[in-house]
Amino acid sequence: MNRLKTMLAAVPFLVLGLARPGFSEEVVKYHPKPADLKYTYGQHKPVMTIRPGTLIVSSTEDCFDGKVKKPGDKPSETVGLWHDNPLTGPFHIQGAERGDVLAVHIRKIEPARPHGISSYTPGFGAITGTEYTAVLEAPLPELVWWYDVDRDKGTVRFRALKGGAAVDIPMRPMIGCLGVAPARNEWRWSVTPEAYGGNMDCPEVRAGNTVYLPVNVPGALLYFGDAHLVQGDGEIVGYGVEAAVNVELKVDLIKGKPIAWPRIESDDCLMTTGMCRPLEDAFRIAAKEMVTWIAEDCGLDAMDAYQLASQVMKAEVSQMVDPNYTILVKFPKKYLPSKKPVFGGTHDRLARPGEARSAPPPGSGRGPV
């Protein structure tokens, strides 16, 4: 133990993991029953303890708690109170402590049923009256859309409720809820995103990408759920094409490199998130996190990083419907002054174990659907 403390004091951070060339991959399987699902982020009793480097093979229920079973079912009549966005977990990560970073590489997201579901819920959505945006107008009607899944084509089929041609939309599966236990001993509703991650509803939380989460409590306590088969920017109706899915997540631990908000890495981009209201404050958080990341990892002066980010970064509104809004800022890696990989090359190692690379291949930023 003393030797480990000496090592940690001598280096900026240490990446722990089991998946190395020549080592077999440790795999755990966990498929929750309805009674095992959680509806808050907090310090629930872990479903299991796993070591860094473990692959989690698991599944999630849809945001309707699996209670909308056929066209015509209404969530308001079938889903239990506060049973939105059921979560799988939590998983206790051995050795994780406050100030560490939990790396979650998403290897696979696949639909578990031959359909997805979307809806409109009165008092929810980006361009209607809500409890936060109070108006005296009558709410829009509750409606449900049923999407058939074509696994062979990789599409979902939209059908208008009042007639019209069907439209096939390419699937781009994502995990809407991915987070850890919040700081300050808080418990947070599964619909809320914040600094711990949570219901980010960010389309870049998808297969092929690595999500970095701040560790706030011993063991981190990892939760996931609320998958979407596809979702447009803003998620303006309040829902993506919601679905139960099977997932594979590779988990690793980065010691001694604290971050304030979730970050994402693809082959081509660094990405930062901000979750807040009003929307401009969410943007400020994400932009500040990007400037800070570039300055720290590229050895730039903060003002130089500020200038560089201002010229090349892109920003997307992931969702504008949840209790906090989500902004995603992207910085193309090709513009980084330093080619040294961030977080000790964790993304490359988890995405391609045993494969050394000096730079990402062109056009490889999109993961499998």
C-alpha distances (whole Å) from 362 to each of 247, 265, 269 are 26, 15, 12
CB 341 within 8 A of CB 349: no
| Whether 179 contacts 223, CB under 8 Å | yes
Return phi, psi of residue 75, to 5°.
-55, -35
DSSP letters for 277-327: SSHHHHHHHHHHHHHHHHHHHHT--HHHHHHHHHHH-EEEEEESSSSSEEE
Q: Are 15 and 343 in contact (CB under 8 A)?
A: yes
Contact between residue 107 and residue 56 where contact means Cβ atoms under 8 Å apart: no
Give the pair of three-digit tokens for residue 165: 């041609």
Taking the alpha carbons of 283, 288, 294, 300 in that order, is the dihedral positive or negative?
A: positive
Structure tokens at 329: 């800022």
Query: Do 180 and 40 form a contact (C-beta atoms < 8 A)?
Result: no
- pLDDT at residue 354 in the model: 59
Which residues in 226-251 are b (16+ Cβ under 10 Å) and which e? bbbbbbeebbebbbbbbbbbebbbbb
Q: Would you say residue 20 has pLDDT above 90?
A: no
pLDDT in tens, 227-256: 999 999 999 999 999 999 999 999 999 999
Q: Percent of the chain scored above 90 by pLDDT? A: 83
Determine the length of the chain. 369
**pLDDT tens digits along 25-81:** 899 999 999 999 999 999 999 999 999 999 999 999 999 999 999 999 999 999 989
Give the domain ranges of the chain.
Answer: 2-260
Backbone angles phi, psi at 146, to 5 degrees: -105, 125
Closest CA to 293 of 326, 268, 259, 269: 259
Are 365 and 359 in contact by the 8 Å Cβ rule? The answer is no
pLDDT per position as a tens digit, 166-218: 999 999 999 999 999 999 999 999 999 999 999 999 999 999 999 999 999 99
3-state DSSP call for residue 3? helix
Q: What is the pLDDT of residue 29?
A: 98
Q: Is the dihedral of CA 68, 32, 241, 202 positive or negative?
A: positive
pTM: 0.90
Determine the Cα–Cα distance for residues 85 and 61; give it in Å rounded to an integer: 8
Distance separating alpha carbons of residues 291 and 277, to the nearest angstrom: 21
3-state secondary structure of 253: strand
Distance between CA atoms of residues 327 and 269, nearest Å: 15
| Per-residue pLDDT reduced to its tens digit, 83-97 | 999 999 999 999 999
Give the pLDDT of residue 16: 54
159 pLDDT above the threshold of 80: yes
Please answer whether residues 316 and 331 qualify as being in contact, where contact means their C-beta atoms are separated by less than 8 angstroms.
no
Q: Provide mean pLDDT across the span 124-140.
A: 91
Structure tokens that stand for 122 in this block: 């009165």
Backbone angles phi, psi at 178, to 5 degrees: -145, 115
Looking only at Cα atoms, what is the longest distance across the chain? 70
Quickly name the fold that domain 2-260 has: Jelly Rolls (2.60.120)
Which residue type does 227 have? A
For residues 63 and 226, is the Cβ–Cβ distance under 8 A? yes
Report whether 172 contacts 74 (CB < 8 A): no
